[in-house]
Amino acid sequence: MPHVVCEYSANLEKKIKIDALLETLHAAMMRTGAAELGGLRTRADRRDQYRIADNDPANGFVNVTIRVAKGRPAEKRRMIAETVFADARKHLDSVYATSPFVLSVEVQEIDPDFRIHESNIRAWMKAKEPAA
């Protein structure tokens, strides 16, 4: 069920492949063991309007917000943040080397009292599996 939302400044599209970054984030989440594939959603939101520090047009950002079901221990949430941050940081190494840039990762809990959810993705995935 984790939702991985990657906001990024539009000026980064000239420097990185957003789809490859999403794949990195998706794979990092799977490695944490905190999600099953059928419940993981990873997406990007390009930000065309933003201000960073002194408003230099070279300044860029990636902000990753990971929303998880309530109830995971703090240590697990911290491990998720650290794992995703490390992989994103490695993926974005060339941006760090060539641009003023900020990367942030935050794990938030979803309050089940205020979430309405329905999904048939797991059933569709199961139907695609070859018969044993």
Query: Residue 66: which CATH number?
Result: 3.30.429.10
First and final C-alpha spacing in the chain: 27
pLDDT tens, position by position, for the chain (132 residues)? 799 999 999 999 999 999 999 999 999 999 999 888 888 999 999 999 999 999 999 999 999 999 998 999 999 999 999 999 999 999 999 999 999 999 999 999 987 777 777 777 777 777 887 765
Tokens of 65: 């917000």
The DSSP result for 86-129, as a single string, is HHHHHHTHHHHHHS-EEEEEEEEEE-GGG------HHHHHHHHS
Number of domains into which the chain is organized: 1
Residue 104: the pLDDT is: 97
Q: Range of 74's domain?
A: 3-128
Residue linked to tokens 């492949």? 17
Per-residue 3-state assignment (H helix, E strand, C coil) for 29-54:
HHHHCCCCHHHCEEEEEEECCCCCCC
**Given this model, what pLDDT does residue 44 score?**
98
pLDDT score for 122: 75
pLDDT of residue 38: 84
- Beta strand pairing call for 60-69 and 41-47: unpaired
- CA torsion angle for 44, 116, 29, 94 (degrees, to 10)? 20
Taking a C-beta distance cutoff of 8 angstroms, is the pair 46, 62 a contact? no
pTM summary value: 0.86
Give the DSSP H/E element, type plus range, for residue 8.
Answer: strand 3-9
